[in-house]
Amino acid sequence: MRVDVSTSRAATRDAAATVPSPARRRASAWRAGIGTGAAALAGRVAAGAALLVTVALLPWLSRSDPALTVLRTRSAEQNPTPGALAAVRDELGLDDGPFTLLGRWLGGLLRGDAGTSWVSGEPVLPDLVPALGVSLTLVAGALVVTVVVAALVSARTVFLGSHRRLHRARAGTGAAVLAALPKFLLASVLATVFGVWLGWFPTSGWVGPASMVLPALALGVPSGAMIGGLLDQALPAAFHEPWARTWYAVGFPPGHAVRHALRRTVPGVLPQLLPTVVALVGGAVSVEMIFNVPGVGRLVLGAALAQDLPVLQAGTLTLVLLGGAAGLGLRSLRRRMLGPALREGALPTLHRPPMPVPGALRYVAAACALALVTLCVAGLLRDPLHVDTAARLLPPSTAHPLGTDSLGRDLLARLGHGALRTTGVALAVTAVSVLVGVLLGMVPKVSAGLTEVVSTLPAVLAGLLVTGLTGPSVLGAALAVCVVGWSPYAAQTSALLQQERAAGHVTASVALGGGRVHVLRRHLLPSLVPPVLRNALLRLPTAVLVLASLGFLGLGAQAPSPEWGRLLSENQAYVELAPWTVLGPAAALVVLAVLAVAGAGIVQGGVRGRGRSGR
């Protein structure tokens, strides 16, 4: 068989010409970076402006008279006569409309004046600046706790991987348990044990560094478990790369492999710090209220409930600016950690090695499923609405296996009847948030700025805005959670796709004629779906708790609905007196989280096993 050498050489030259040179790749990456940066900046400005306009409309969207709300906030005893309401409207200029008021506020902001509170009559900035300082200090403490907890969660994988002894996948149930802990419940327990019983730390106010310890722990432990769980699932792929085997063979110290493995995996997890930790500036309302911390979240929530528009607008703008600054910082840190390989399009793809799942994982999943089914069946046989004031706050007994609440209602009955609704709404909200987040994360030029803005938006504020249009209902609360719940998945999707597109095999696939659909189906989605699914399962209990917080404020499920999150909110005040009133719902959330993570691990292991047998 003769081979046309000239034709072969020409084909080789043509194929080589289709692969861009390093200089061309750098220039293309630079131009793409400039375009993405400009689009992200435009997205931040547009998202921030849209949010400010929506906030300005809040008093008119809430279907209540803002003059009446302000008057009652100023003095609950004052009779809201037509004359008094007219005086408030004239004083605040409500008859001029929301857009005129927003224009005046923006004009004053350009002169350094954030306006005057409608309730207190005092300038906004003297209250906002100290609250911002408190929140930033609290977030710094929570970030330290997050890093420490994440390190502890992934410590075993780091040690075994650096010593080439990582042969079995981890279930991740410990991280799921910690991530599922309700922040306000953890805060109440910490305040009771370390503040009241032991007297080690103050439980109220903000008087010094000691006041930061307990709130930082309450915020940082679940967040650290979330970050650590994601990192723990990514590390085996880094330790499985060829360089790790080579370094171990030539006798490099384990610390070298650890540093390089973290540098390969942390950038994929780093974007989760924005919606998980930085969002605590505006979203740590429950913890701030328990410890009486005068932070921005508490200030914004109070202003939203009182319809104190100047304070609400100033607080919202502060959150938007913080989200943008944090997003830029995290983006720069990611690029620095990934180094030139990201710009050159030569970043190796992380492929998780085929490792068997622990045999006990199936038993854990079966035990959790059996516990939830037993809870539902036993609870459905009881009346969740029966009130017995003579049986208030009874401890667990034969008649009431989980005790009773403050109205004498059986907690087992309420947990059982609320199981299907709670899990159903939480799964639906999580599924919609994942879908929206993945779709928006695939177009980072459009969604980068919007993601940063939404990441710092408190869910309670989103609930007030959404339910102003839909009215208080389960659907309105679910929609409000979806409005802010997609941002973690969008940030993760954008980061993972950026790294995957910089991989050599993707560049080769494009050079060989692979279209966008082919690259997306064969390369991008297979590397994207597992970590996003893991993130969604870890965040499943969080959706329940956010829905509960909205219901507790009268924006979601209304009493006497027996949703799990609402049970936690209703009984939060009785943690010290009757801890069983919250231990039942909290344990149910933890079991649900463990079941979700264990089930995902079993399915993932089964898919890998079938893939190996097929090969």
Flag the least confident range among 148-152, 344-348, 413-417: 344-348
Q: Is residue 453 part of a domain?
A: no
Confidence (pLDDT) at 433: 93
User: pLDDT tens digit string along 19-47?
Assistant: 445 555 445 544 444 445 666 677 777 87
Helix, strand, coil content of the chain in percent (nearest 5): 75, 0, 25
Q: Name residue, tokens 């327990």.
A: 189
For residues 344-349, average pLDDT: 68
Q: Is residue 104 part of a domain?
A: yes
Q: Where among 318, 335, 356 does a domain terminate?
A: 356
Both tokens assigned to 536:
């969604």
Nearest alpha carbon to residue 330 among 530, 218, 498: 498
Same-domain pairing of 254 and 299: yes
For residues 477 and 556, what is the distance between their CA atoms, to the nearest angstrom?
A: 5
Same domain, 283 and 210: yes
| 217 and 297 co-located in one domain | yes
* 50 and 170 together in one domain: no
pLDDT at residue 6, as a whole number: 47
| Average pLDDT value for the chain | 79
Q: Are 585 and 564 in contact (CB under 8 A)?
A: yes
Kindly state the percentage of the chain with pLDDT values over 90: 7
Residue range 159-177: mean pLDDT, rounded: 80
Residue 108 and residue 166 in one domain: no
Give the CA distances from residue 600 to residues 203, 334, 544, 574, in Å, rounded to whole numbers and listed in that order. Answer: 39, 28, 19, 35
Q: How many domains does the chain have?
A: 2
DSSP 21: P
The whole-angstrom separation of Cα 525 and Cα 497 is 9
What tokens were used for 244?
């790790």
* Residue 201: inside a domain: yes
Q: How confident is the model at residue 168 (pLDDT cuts 50, 70, 90)?
A: confident
Please state the rounded mean pLDDT for residues 474-494.
Answer: 86
201 and 109: one domain?
no
Token reading at 357:
């799942």
Distance from CA of residue 403 to its chain's centroid?
Answer: 32
Q: DSSP string of 570-609?
A: HTGGGTTT-THHHHHHHHHHHHHHHHHHHHHHHHHHHHHH
Q: What's the CA dihedral at 69, 71, 75, 80 to 10 degrees?
A: -100
Q: What is the pLDDT of residue 34?
A: 47
pLDDT of residue 609: 47
**Can you give the residue range of the structural domain that contains 270?**
122-356
Say if residues 203 and 191 touch (Cβ distance below 8 Å): yes
- Count Cβ neighbours within 10 Å for each residue of 4-16 and write b for 16 or more, e otherwise: eeeeeeeeeeeee
Q: What is the DSSP letter of 558?
A: P
Write down which residue in 356, 389, 404 finishes a domain: 356
**Could you tell me the CA-to-CA distances from 334 to 44, 141, 232, 239, 496 in Å, in that order?**
19, 22, 18, 20, 11
Q: Is residue 416 assigned to a domain?
A: no
Contact 562, 402 (CB under 8 A): no
Give domain status of residue 348, yes or no: yes
Same domain flag for 103 and 165:
no
Summarize pLDDT for 297-310 with one digit per residue, the tens.
788 878 887 888 89
Is 369 part of any domain? no
Task: Kindly state the average pLDDT of the residues 161-167.
Answer: 85
What is the full DSSP assignment across 186-225?
HHHHHIIIIIIIS--S--SS--STHHHHHHHHHHHHHHHH
Number of neighbouring beta carbons within 10 Å of residue 366: 13
Report the first-to-last Cα separation within the chain, whole angstroms: 33
CATH code of the domain covering residue 259: 1.10.3720.10
d(CA 483, CA 462): 7
Write the CA distances from 34 to 31, 40, 170, 200, integer angstroms: 5, 10, 41, 52
Reduced to 3 states (helix: H, G, I; strand: E, B; else coil), residue 124 is coil
- 469 in a domain, yes or no? no
231-239: average pLDDT: 88
Residue 333 has pLDDT above 60, yes or no: yes
Task: Return d(Cα 150, Cα 215) in angstroms, integer.
Answer: 18
Residues 50 and 196 placed together within one structural domain of the fold: no
Residue-level pLDDT at 39? 67
Rounded-to-integer distance, Cα 372 and Cα 353, Å: 33
How many CB atoms neighbour CB 200 within 10 A? 11
Listed in sequence order, the DSSP H helices in 19-97 are 22-56, 58-61, 66-74, 82-92
Q: Tell me: pLDDT of 554 over 90.
A: no
The band of 146, judged by pLDDT with boundaries at 50, 70 and 90, is: very high
pLDDT band at 571 (very low <50, low <70, confident <90, very high): confident
pLDDT of residue 496 exceeding 50: yes
Tell me: do 53 and 197 sit in the same domain: no
Give CA–CA dist 34/238, Å, rounded: 30
pLDDT band at 596 (very low <50, low <70, confident <90, very high): confident
Give yes or no for residue 611 having a pLDDT over 50. Answer: no
Report residue 145's pLDDT band, with 50, 70 and 90 as the boundaries.
very high
Q: What are the φ/ψ torsions at residue 404 (nearest 5 degrees)?
A: -125, 165
Find where tokens 């719940």 sit: 485
Query: Which of 52-56, 75-79, 391-395, 515-519 is modeled with the greatest confidence?
Result: 391-395
CB-based contacts of 81, cutoff 8 Å, min separation 6: none
CA-to-CA distance for 172 and 597, rounded, in angstroms? 7
Q: What's the rounded Cα separation, in Å, for the pair 138 and 144?
A: 10
User: Which residue type is seen at 284?
Assistant: A
What is the distance between the alpha carbons of residues 299 and 56, in angstroms, rounded to a whole number?
A: 17
Pair 282, 183 in one domain: yes
Residue 268 counted as domain residue: yes
Q: Is the pTM of this model over 0.85?
A: no
* d(C-alpha 92, C-alpha 118), whole Å: 7
pLDDT confidence of residue 344? 66
The domain boundary residue, chosen from 305, 327, 356: 356
* Mean pLDDT, residues 235-242 taken together: 87
pLDDT at site 54: 82
- The pLDDT confidence band at residue 148, using thresholds 50, 70 and 90, is very high
pLDDT above 60 for 515: yes
pLDDT-derived band at 431, boundaries 50, 70, 90: very high
Residues 250 and 318 in one domain: yes
Q: Tell me, what's the pLDDT at 280?
A: 66
Give yes or no: residues 148 and 223 share one domain: yes
Distance CA 264, CA 247 (A): 15
CA distance 553 to 370: 33
Tell how far CA 501 is from the center of its chain: 25
- Average pLDDT of the segment spanning 354-361: 72
